[in-house]
Amino acid sequence: MEQDVESPATIRKPKLPKQVRDDLPKQLVEKDQAKKKIQRYVRKDGKCNVHHGNVRETYRYLTDIFTTLVDLKWRFNLFIFVLVYTVTWLFFGFMWWLIAYIRGDLEHIGDNQWTPCVNNLNGFVSAFLFSIETETTIGYGHRVITDKCPEGIVLLLVQSVLGSIVNAFMVGCMFVKISQPKKRAETLVFSTNAVISMRDGRLCLMFRVGDLRNSHIVEASIRAKLIKSKQTKEGEFIPLNQTDMNVGYDTGDDRLFLVSPLIICHEINQHSPFWEISKAHLAKEELEIVVILEGMVEATGMTCQARSSYVSSEIKWGYRFTPVLTLEDGFYEVDYNSFHEIYETNTPSCSARELAEMTARARLPLTWSVASKLSQQGALNTGAGQEEKDDHTGLDQTERNGDIANIESESKV
């Protein structure tokens, strides 16, 4: 008797085409690369993403202690400020108490017949208060030095001089710290993205800068550098190699009159590092463009520097910036809501080099046809002239032969 045997159902996965199977690992790799965090050399807020390690010659920081204190963070700067004054007050307070203890002033408190070094100094607390009054030149009048204490007079002179030095150093440090133009750079803004599009028939890389304050930056100038690792012909690997990008140095366009937002343009020519980079190549490149805006603050005259950067994913190919300047009744108005906005435009996706070659090939047939026609016409003119010249030469020769024959016949007669 035959029995029906149920075989387990097998589900076969659909067979993908060979091209799809080959492209699948590449797509996964590209997704993994996109998920990787982009390591910046300069962050968008302008801070350099570089940490110095294994610095053994730390004594070099102490040789320029003033700059070291100014560069410290505010919490450490305030802590050192309070600590220096407190230590000097305590030290000189201890010295005043030590003089009173050695002279025996503390043993004759309330004795009207005894002339102490400092009147009304009866312990360390009062000596500490007298040290504060002396160094800060408060002079309440309750505690005062007498003329019967030469060592106290010397100590008073030393504390006055050292106190003035400490005041000048610490107050100067705090003043420079407060007046630093770092916060002025907070109102200098850069566009979120850079764009690549055509301008005047040339492929250009552009970004926008603006100043939010009414007090302008004097002698403003802009620079741009390409940060990209490279390998030399000899095999040397140079990490984070810096290459200058021309943003108008030759024409003076790098010097800005930054009253309203400006679009900074870098023409991609044969001298540009983007000369051979196309749209598809740009998406795979690991590069960073660092832009530096420098100038003097109009209110203080101090030099200010603002920085930003653009990685390859922030460079939009085939886009332009939305205009932000409009003419109102008697003035120009800047709409900063549209400062970072861009819109798409027709732009060739090939590199600037390929675009220049295609343009040259498009012009070649016309040039060649005109040149060939001119050369053919010139050859025809030359041939015709040569024939006319030969005809004239033959006629002249015949005439000369006839003249010679006539002369010979006459001589025979």
State how far the alpha carbon of 29 is from the alpha carbons of 25, 32, 35, 36, 319, in Å: 6, 5, 10, 11, 27
Q: Whole-structure pTM over 0.75, yes or no?
A: no
Can you list the alpha helix ranges (DSSP code H) found in 13-149? 18-35, 59-63, 65-71, 74-103, 124-135
pLDDT tens per residue, range 159-204 = 999 999 999 999 999 988 888 877 888 889 999 999 999 999 899 9
Q: What is the spatial distance between Cα 284 and Cα 33, in angstroms, rounded to a whole number?
A: 9
Q: What is the DSSP letter of 36?
A: S
What 3-state class would DSSP assign to 404?
helix
Contact 213, 185 (CB under 8 A): no
**Using 50, 70 and 90 to split pLDDT, how confident is the model at 141?**
confident
Tell me 179's DSSP state. Answer: T
Taking every pair of Cα atoms in the chain, the longest distance, rounded to a whole number of angstroms, is: 174
**How does pLDDT run across 296-334, given as a tens digit for each residue?**
988 788 889 999 999 999 999 999 999 999 988 889 999
Identify which of 317, 311, 309, 244 has the alpha carbon closest to the alpha carbon of residue 278.
317
Strands 315-317 and 194-199: parallel
Q: What is the pLDDT of residue 21?
A: 47
Per residue in 80-136, pLDDT (tens digit) is 999 999 999 999 999 999 999 998 888 888 888 888 998 888 899 999 999 999 998
Mean pLDDT taken over the chain: 81
pLDDT value of residue 37: 65
Q: 26-57 pLDDT, tens per residue?
A: 554 454 444 456 789 999 988 888 888 888 87
Residue 187: C-alpha distances to residues 305, 342, 359 (Å):
11, 21, 43
DSSP 108: G
Q: Residue 176 contacts by C-beta under 8 Å, 6 or more apart in sequence?
A: 70
